[in-house]
Amino acid sequence: MTKELLGLSKEELLSEIMSIGEKPFRAKQLWQWIYFRGETNFDNMSNLSKDLRIKLKEHYTITRPKIVDEQISIDKTHKWLLEFADGQRIETVYIPEDDRGAVCVSTQVGCAVGCTFCHTGSQKITRNLTAGEIVAQFMIARDAYKEWPSPTNETRYLSNIVVMGMGEPLHNKDEVFKALKILSDGSGVAISKRRITLSTSGIVPNIEAVASELGVKLAISLHAPTNEKRSEIMPINNRYKIEDILEACQKYQAIMGMSRMITFEYLMLKDFNDSIEDAKILVALMKKYKLGAKFNLIPFNPWPGCKYQPSSNNKVHAFSKFLESAGYEAPIRVARGQDILAACGQLKSKKTSEF
Ligand code: SAH
Ligand code: SF4
């Protein structure tokens, strides 16, 4: 049996290399081949001796998941359905902008949080992804855009990572953190931590660690201004209340600094949470907790069988204006890749044609 190298931390890679009797600097070289050059074939690792390449092949593999399906939206959003060795499937999305782009990675097969508006949440949790499986999603996207070796300038096709795909990342904290440490390492893939955003439904005990152990940007899926309303659409709110989440956000900001804005994602659901009254309560909450915050208003993306309607444009704009007049940025997110079910909350473990 060969062992998979993708997803090992630097320390783990080093001990592997030592365990086959090689010098520590070989681990550095391998790391560069895997994460700076994107190489998967030991035969192409030209600065390693032939004997070493043979030895590596005997013991190890560097694999990519199988691409089961791949779709590109009319707006160029690119979605992959990926299958891992045990047959489990997840989706990964690349969202291009003019001079940059974000890869949206999944962290679990399904999700245990079960938000009523989310397509992923309607699929029960099957398992956590490993660090290697999370890293591999980014590698697949970089392979597709041939962005190897890792570009050193700021303009890249793949410049950002958003942990906003399938799953609740803070229910799989250890593997997610390990993956993001690998992807942000400066001698490999080198995506700066300022360009990585982790989005959570609010798993309170793990929020502070996003700052203390990792240092990436934080987004909170808030979606409602009161506990009563939030519990109705996000069952996790029965466990972790809005006040607990905002206190955890204060701890995050105490470590990261007030200038590191926390994004509050707010899904606009027709006649449920889209009134000016709701916006007023939100502003009062933010003022009370003195958070450096901005909002991201998300138009609801429908999926087959969902029971919600998106708010009207007028309401979304009025809501945004109100928040902005209170001093909070509140852009309206443009839905991307809707035609291929690649937008927020639309991901699942199936081909789009199978719905
Ligand atoms: N589990 C994490 C991250 C993945 S979801 C979280 O919930 O934050 C990424 C974002 O998509 C979240 O803000 C989520 O609430 C939002 N989302 C889920 N379903 C959606 C839908 N149908 N339309 C628009 N956004 C949705
Ligand atoms: Fe899970 Fe996030 Fe979807 Fe809620 S919105 S079910 S936490 S993936």
Distance CA 249, CA 211 (A): 10
* Ligand 2 mutation pick, 118, 204, 222, max ligand atoms within 8 A of CB: 118
- Dihedral sign for Cα 274, 263, 330, 305, please: negative
Q: Cβ(150)–Cβ(185) under 8 Å?
A: no
Q: Is the CB of 199 under 6 A from ligand 1?
A: yes
Q: Is the CB of 345 under 6 A from ligand 1?
A: yes
Q: Cβ(295)–Cβ(329) under 8 Å?
A: yes
Catalytic residues: 91, 344
Q: Cβ(344)–Cβ(301) under 8 Å?
A: yes
Can you give the pLDDT at residue 99? 82
Can you give the pLDDT at residue 354? 56
- The number of angstroms, rounded, from the C-alpha of 50 to the middle of its chain's C-alpha atoms is 38
- Dihedral sign for Cα 178, 103, 160, 267, please: negative
Q: Is the CB of 122 under 6 A from ligand 2?
A: no
Distance from residue 192's CA to the centre of ligand 1 (Å): 23
Q: Cβ(8)–Cβ(35) under 8 Å?
A: no
pLDDT in tens, the chain (355 residues): 899 999 999 999 999 999 999 999 999 999 999 999 999 999 999 999 999 999 999 999 999 999 999 999 999 999 999 999 999 999 999 999 888 899 999 999 999 999 999 987 677 899 999 999 999 999 999 999 999 999 877 668 899 999 999 999 999 999 999 999 999 999 999 999 999 999 999 999 999 999 999 999 999 999 999 999 999 999 999 999 999 999 999 999 999 998 899 999 999 999 999 999 999 999 999 999 999 999 999 999 888 888 899 999 999 999 999 999 999 999 998 878 888 887 767 677 776 555 4
Q: Is the CB of 268 under 6 A from ligand 1?
A: no
Sequence-separated (6 or more) residues with CB below 8 Å from residue 121? 111, 113, 114, 115
The ligand with the least distance to the CA atom of 163 is 1
Q: Cβ(168)–Cβ(200) under 8 Å?
A: yes
Supply the residue whose CA is at minimum distance from atom 4 of ligand 2: 115
Does the N-terminal peptide bond of residue 24 adopt cis geometry, omega within 30 degrees of 0? no
Residue 234 alpha carbon, nearest atom of ligand 2: 4
- The number of angstroms, rounded, from the C-alpha of 76 to the middle of its chain's C-alpha atoms is 19
Q: Rounded to the nearest 5°, which phi and psi values hold at 229?
A: -70, -40
Supply the residue whose CA is at minimum distance from atom 15 of ligand 1: 221
Q: Which two structure tokens, joined as six digits, stand for 228?
A: 């009563």
Q: Is the CB of 264 under 6 A from ligand 1?
A: no
Can you give the pLDDT at residue 155? 65
